[in-house]
Amino acid sequence: MSEFSKEVVDLVWGRPNSSGMSPSLFRRWTQGFVFSETEPTALEQFEGGPCAIIVPVQAFLLKNMLFNFENSNWRELSAALAAEDLGFERFHSLIHKRTLNSVCELREAVLSLYDSWRNKFGVLLFLYSVILTKGIENIRNEIEDTTEPLIDPVYGHGSQSLINLLVSGRAVSNVWDGDRECSGMKLKGINEQATVGFLTLMESLRYCKVGSCLKSPKFPVWILGSETHLSVFFTKELALVAPESPSEQARRVFQTYDPEDNGFIPDTLLEDVMKALDLVSEPEYVNLMKSKLDPESLGIVLLGSFLMEFFPEQDSGIPDSFPVYHYNGLKQSNHNEKVCYVEGTALVLGFEDPMVRTDDTPVKRCLQTKWPYIELLWTTERSPSLN
């Protein structure tokens, strides 16, 4: 195994223990970029693990098909290949590095190697190419725990650092905006608006809080994370990623002072929130607002009351309803075990309306971390699966 190859292997798989790499875990990652026979623009995932690569690639494919091409028939494309069965050591002894000096050269090389991306090792070749392009040392400098490999050596799942690397170009371990200080340690997050977004069920369970850089991307395509898998939610409705309205900005700022997502803040923080939003914040006026927003003197200010007082009836610009789609690359997670986009209709409301309440599903709970009052009506009998 060459020296560069060993460095990449250590970064991705971790330093080998006495028992070596599990053949079954490596086998799960040996697949190419293969398109579904029933949905020609949807990539298939054969086993658990490589969704950390396949799903971000799928998200960018969808972004390009929906918004970069004139062709309205975005659900058309073509299919896949097979390759020699190689073990872990043999595969890594055969790969070699090629350096390209311009984007033009890179584009030509990628196209000339198209069959290699589609064969059995395409996903790993793509991953190693991304790592070498970014630079091994650059990645190590961004990862919080350098002893943690990009692929879990026991379960085979891609780390958050790997997902962030593919989505944002930074191999950081966190999903919040910017960098934070904690007990003298610098914890790195996402530092600019992503092209495609990321939402996670873990936020609905209060394990983390995704920042606006990932939550509000440039295009309406979101990777959705469950406990063990990734999928994609997308739409052609660009109003979903339009610049924040004043009320949306107010909600976001208010929530930065409510890190536990309680839906309220102590009234002592009201002045800070008002200053952050450039509202009148003279002490007398703030005290008047405290009395109005907290008439029972509980010492808290509710998010809903705050928005109704300062940003009443603001139109977000989002249509009442619009078509949406969900992608899951695992056959067994799709109806009739055929990888297809599931179509539906979304309603994004500014309040809870019991008249249009739909079933509580993991997909909906994941999306509610961005749109608290979203409702989803799918064309299939069962809702799409996050897993």
pLDDT in tens, 61-71: 999 889 877 66
pLDDT exceeds 50 at position 2:
yes
Q: Cβ(5)–Cβ(12) under 8 Å?
A: no
Residues 6+ apart with CB under 8 A from 108: none
pLDDT exceeds 90 at position 301:
yes
The per-residue pLDDT for range 121-157, each reduced to its tens digit, is 899 999 999 999 999 999 999 998 878 899 998 889 9
Bridge partners of 325? 234, 343
Q: Give the pLDDT confidence score for residue 355 in this predicted structure.
A: 57
Q: Give the pLDDT confidence score for residue 260 in this predicted structure.
A: 74
Binning pLDDT at 50, 70 and 90, where does residue 198 land? Answer: very high
Match 């790195």 to its residue by tokens: 188
The per-residue pLDDT for range 305-331, each reduced to its tens digit, is 999 999 886 666 788 889 999 999 999
pLDDT exceeds 90 at position 73:
no
Considering the candidates 51, 213, 340, 366, report the single residue annotated as catalytic. 51
Average pLDDT over residues 45-53: 93
Q: How far apart are CA 151 and CA 13, in angstroms?
A: 6
Nearest to residue 222, comparing CAs of 326, 374, 139, 315?
326
The CA-atom distances, in angstroms, between 15 and each of 48, 147, 264, 295 are 22, 9, 46, 61
Q: Is 51 a catalytic residue?
A: yes
* Pure H helices in the chain: 3-13, 23-29, 51-67, 88-94, 103-112, 114-118, 122-134, 136-142, 160-168, 201-204, 212-215, 246-256, 270-276, 283-293, 303-310, 362-367
HSE, CB side, 13 Å, CA atoms: give it for residue 204. Answer: 20
pLDDT exceeds 60 at position 91:
yes
Q: Give the pLDDT confidence score for residue 51 in this predicted structure.
A: 96
Nearest to residue 113, comparing CAs of 83, 85, 93?
83
Average pLDDT over residues 274-279: 94
Q: How far apart are CA 293 and CA 300, in angstroms?
A: 8
pLDDT exceeds 80 at position 101:
yes
pTM of the model: 0.83
| CB under 8 A, 24+ apart: contacts of 135-140 | 136/7, 136/8, 136/11, 138/171, 139/11, 139/165, 139/171, 140/11
Q: Cβ(237)–Cβ(226) under 8 Å?
A: no
Tell me which of 81-90, 248-257, 343-352 is least confident: 81-90
pLDDT exceeds 80 at position 41:
yes
Residue 44, both tokens: 């298939």
pLDDT exceeds 80 at position 299:
yes
pLDDT exceeds 80 at position 294:
yes
Range ranked top by mean pLDDT from 55-69, 99-113, 218-232, 352-366: 218-232
Residue 198, both tokens: 């990321």
pLDDT exceeds 80 at position 352:
no
pLDDT exceeds 90 at position 291:
yes
Binning pLDDT at 50, 70 and 90, where does residue 358 land? Answer: confident
Q: How many residues does the chain have?
A: 387
Question: Higher model confidence: residue 74 or residue 341?
Answer: 341
Considering the candidates 229, 326, 340, 366, report the single residue annotated as catalytic. 229
pLDDT exceeds 50 at position 82:
no
Binning pLDDT at 50, 70 and 90, where does residue 92 land? Answer: confident
Nearest to residue 272, comparing CAs of 322, 242, 313, 306?
306
For residue 234, the 8-state DSSP code is: E
Tell me which of 7-11, 80-84, 266-270, 341-345 is least confident: 80-84
The per-residue pLDDT for range 208-256, each reduced to its tens digit, is 889 989 999 999 999 999 999 999 999 999 988 988 778 878 988 898 8
Q: Give the pLDDT confidence score for residue 360 in this predicted structure.
A: 85
HSE, CB side, 13 Å, CA atoms: give it for residue 134. Answer: 25
Q: Is 213 a catalytic residue?
A: no
Q: How far apart are CA 147 and CA 65, in angstroms?
A: 38
Residues 6+ apart with CB under 8 A from 261: 206, 209, 255
pLDDT exceeds 80 at position 258:
yes
Q: Give the pLDDT confidence score for residue 50 in this predicted structure.
A: 93
Distance, C-alpha 224 to centroid of its chain: 6
Average pLDDT over residues 21-45: 90
Mean per-residue pLDDT of the chain: 88
pLDDT exceeds 50 at position 81:
no
Q: How far apart are CA 288 and CA 77, in angstroms?
A: 62
Q: Give the pLDDT confidence score for residue 356 in this predicted structure.
A: 61
Q: How far apart are CA 210 and CA 193, in angstroms?
A: 12
Q: How far apart are CA 136 and CA 3, in angstroms?
A: 12
For residue 330, the 8-state DSSP code is: B
